[in-house]
Amino acid sequence: DEHILAVQGVPKQLWPQLRDFMAESGYKLELDDEELGVLETVWDENPETLTRDKFKIFAEAGQEAGTTLLYVSQRAEELKPEGDDMVWKATDRDSVQEREFVERLQSFLVGGREPAR
């Protein structure tokens, strides 16, 4: 349930670029832990569709020296009635949106700098 990108550079070198990508794409971060190698966005809610989603990037050193593996995943939820309340329930992730996120990230990291979403 995730995409994997292999990129040049060690995680410590890539971390500022990953932060820049998130900021320039308009994502606010809930978790930014360089030591653990995890960036996770806050929930991005869409009141029109009663859905929300978030992205997570996990970075770890690749098997080849000077490379990093980035594991990118998305979680999605929708607001559903439960008794008299409305509650967030997990739903299938949006594979198109996830693929677009990964493509923008890849382009950004290789110098294309296309963060807009």
In tens, the pLDDT along 23-61 reads 999 999 999 999 999 999 999 999 999 999 999 999 999
Judge whether residue 21 has pLDDT over 60: yes
User: What pTM did the predictor assign?
Assistant: 0.86
Cβ-Cβ contacts under 8 Å for 33 (sequence gap 6 or more): 39
Q: What pLDDT, in 10s, does the model give residues 89-117? A: 999 888 888 889 999 999 998 876 554 44
10: exposed, middle or buried (Cβ count in 10 Å: 0-12, 13-18, 19+) = middle
Which pLDDT belongs to residue 93? 84
**Structure-token pair, residue 85:** 């309340």
Q: Tokens 């996830």 — which residue?
A: 98
